[in-house]
Structure 1
Amino acid sequence: MQNVTPFHIAIPVHNLDECRSFYRDILDCEEGRSSDHWVDFNLFGHQLVIHYKPKSNVELHTNAVDGKNVPVPHYGVVLPWDLFQSFSKTLKTKGVEFIIEPYIRFEGEVGEQATMFFLDPAGNALEFKSFKDMNQLFAK
């Protein structure tokens, strides 16, 4: 399959103002177009749109991966190694509460990667990851 960038993702949020602040001020996403029901953001060169949706009472589901409880569903971006390291430090200094603290997953194995998980204010799970060797992104 041919690589095409950037991607677009739309996520539901029940608190548009709080999530707008989170993506803009905590994740440092540049804000784009908006209305009273949605906001576009530049998430590392990709289009993220938060859309208002009334709050759901669905509980967070997880699956075990590498001994951790990975939230499902989740979304995020694969970052260059150095950017992941600096971004994770920035999130820590801004007081982000992690579901899974930044760490190296599958260390010494095919697909070794840095990863971290946290929630936005609407409870959407985000994962950011990085590979020292980007050729291992889809390695088996």
Structure 2
Amino acid sequence: MEPESFFHVALKVEDIDECATFYREHFDAELLERGDADSGAGATAVNYAALEVADKRVYLFDRAPYEAAGLSSEIPPGFLHFGFVVDDIDQAHQELTAAGIDFIMEPSVFGDLKIAFFADPAGVRIELLEHRHR
């Protein structure tokens, strides 16, 4: 599998507004969007802010999408995962599964994205993202 690009870092924080202000004030971050847990279900039932810092996104979550979906136990605040864009998530999933990698979350559609999660040998969570409508 060859990722197309590095897309984002996701962090779990206790106060999204406080952290978003920190990144705006000290890293000249731009707020791209806000999400509300009440408008989602399962993995999308999370509060979040998406920021652009330099040329990358930083997502600030109140809980991880895989926590919200019941696919993992509660994760403490801090680093959640980083994400790579791939051209074909099903092909990437097939290659990685054939190589013996177990997925935390199988490929799933979320609006214009198809995403999947797995972990490296040290347990670091990695998200694959496919933009479905380019």
Q: TM-score range by the shorter chain?
A: 0.3 to 0.5
- Which structure ranks higher in relative contact order (CA pairs < 8 Å, sequence separation ≥ 6)? 2
Tell me which protein shows more helix as a share of its residues.
2
> Which of the two has higher C-alpha Rg?
1
TM-score (norm 1): 0.41
